[in-house]
Amino acid sequence: MSGGSRRSGACVKCCLVLFAVASALCVSGPALYWRYKKGFGGGISSHSSSACAPCVCDCPPPLSLHKIAPGLINLSITDCGKHDPELNKEMEKQFVDLLTEELKLQEVVAEEHTHHKNATVVEAKRMASQYQKEAEKCNAATEICEEARERAEAGLTKEKKITALWERRARQLGWQDA
């Protein structure tokens, strides 16, 4: 029974290996096939496509505006009202009004730009003045501190001399460090 059990175990293992290989081929087989075909067969397919005859197109020429609406070409915007003096005068007035309005708008924009620029310059001057005052305060404080440091240093030097003098006198009178 031990031999039969071994055979059935080996058979199961063999079947599992075959199943795993078959599953792997089923999953990755198509991708490998297309990669193989694209890698080696790419030259063949491009060669066969270049051997095909050129396409022949018998397309009609595009329709022109003249063929679609023959009378439309004679009309243009510049011709509008040319022969009617009243309409021509009215159109000219509108054109002058439009130009006048455009000039007024440009003037307003220029004034706003100038106002903004002037406000920016005033603000920059104010900030510069404030920074100048702060710098002057800082310089004054630095000078005061420097003078105080020099006085303290001079006082310390004086105190060291006095301490050395008293220590020397104390030693002369028999004082000793502990």
At residue 43, the pLDDT reads 47
Which of 50-64, 94-108, 154-168 is the least confident region?
A: 50-64
Segment 62-87 mean pLDDT: 63
- Tokens 């595009």 correspond to what residue? 62
65 CB-near residues (< 8 Å, 6+ apart):
72, 73
Q: What angle do CA 61, 64, 65 make, to 5 degrees?
A: 165
pLDDT in tens, 39-74: 755 444 444 445 566 666 777 666 666 666 665 555
* Distance from C-alpha of 52 to C-alpha of 30, rounded to nearest angstrom: 28
pLDDT in tens, 4-47: 677 777 888 888 888 888 888 888 878 777 777 777 554 444 44
Single-letter residue type at 108: V
Residue 2 pLDDT greater than 80, yes or no: no
Residue 109 pLDDT greater than 70, yes or no: yes
* Distance from C-alpha of 45 to C-alpha of 98, rounded to nearest angstrom: 66
* Four-point Cα dihedral 10, 15, 21, 27, nearest 10: -150
- Tokens 């051997």 correspond to what residue? 51
* Distance from C-alpha of 103 to C-alpha of 85, rounded to nearest angstrom: 27
Quote the DSSP letter at residue 88.
H
The residue among 28, 29, 9 whose CA lies nearest residue 17 is: 9
Higher pLDDT, residue 176 or 44: 176
Residue 115 pLDDT greater than 90, yes or no: yes
At residue 134, the pLDDT reads 94
Q: Let me know: does 81 contact 91? Beta carbons within 8 Å.
A: yes
- Tokens 């439309």 correspond to what residue? 72
Token digits for 154? Answer: 């001079």
Q: Let me know: does 39 contact 45? Beta carbons within 8 Å.
A: no
At residue 93, the pLDDT reads 74
* Distance from C-alpha of 82 to C-alpha of 96, rounded to nearest angstrom: 17
CA 161 from chain centre, in angstroms, equals 68
Token digits for 143? Answer: 């000078």
Residue 168 pLDDT greater than 60, yes or no: yes
Token digits for 84? Answer: 């009617």
